[in-house]
Amino acid sequence: MPDSTLTLARTGGIELARIVYTEEQIAARVEEMGAEISAAFPEGDRLLVLGLLKGSFIFLSDLVRQITRPLHVDFLVAASYGSGTTSSGKVDLLYNPNAEFVGRHVILVEDIVDSGTTLSRLVPMLEERGPLSLEICTLLHKHVAADLIREPRWVGFDAPHEFLIGYGLDHAEDYRHLPFIGSL
């Protein structure tokens, strides 16, 4: 378990409701996910791992080091949340990557799938660029969306219906740097 004095130093004195996934649990699951993704593609397949910023930045950097296939990394910048803890239902694309999609299997890496609004906007846009395949990998899945445009092929954890922070996830830009995932 993380040291509580250290945690309070990191949060500026804010007490978290609870730790949901420890650093060790996350590391073990990310290692498994890297193996699952590697096994899903024959040796020699070329991947493009597309991280959705900002939330996926830590997950993606740990995940790609566990994938044993040739790959490129790029990012998408989408803004879908304001400072609240509920989805605004609006997705703005602030950066669209130049990366070559043709001839590559594209893996879209998300921090968390909640309402599915982000995916419904991004999947058709990415499909248009002609990847060999397009699959979604998410660290957390809340399983609240009635019908997702595409179910993630790889899911780290089935997440509780709470507002989660840490390991890339923020609340109004705070807490992204926590090495574990907690509930506010």
Active site residues: 114
What values do phi and psi take at 128, rounded to 5?
-60, -25
103: left (phi over 0), alpha (psi -120 to 50) or beta: left
150 to 169: interface string for ligand IMP, x by CB under 6 A: -------------xxx---x
36 to 55: interface string for Mg ion, x by CB under 5 A: -------------------x
* Shortest Cβ 80–Mg ion spacing (Å): 7
Interface with Mg ion in residues 78-107 (CB under 5 A): none
* Interface with ligand IMP: number of residues (CB under 6 A): 17
For 85, how many CA atoms within 13 A lie in the half-sphere containing its CB? Answer: 9
Omega before 142 within 30 of 0, i.e. cis: no
Out of 26, 113, 122, 139, point to the residue binding ligand IMP (CB under 6 A). 113
Closest by CA position to 165, among listed 179, 151, 152: 179
Of 11-19, 28-36, 66-74, 113-121, the segment contacting ligand IMP by CB under 6 A is 113-121
7 binds, among ligand IMP, Mg ion, none (CB under 5 to 8 A by kind): none
Pair 29, 180: CB distance under 8 Å: no
Q: What is the DSSP letter of 16?
A: P
**How many angstroms separate the CA atoms of 67 and 39, rounded?**
9
Interface with ligand IMP in residues 40-59 (CB under 6 A): 55
Residues that bind ligand IMP (CB under 6 A): 55, 80-81, 87, 110-118, 163-165, 169
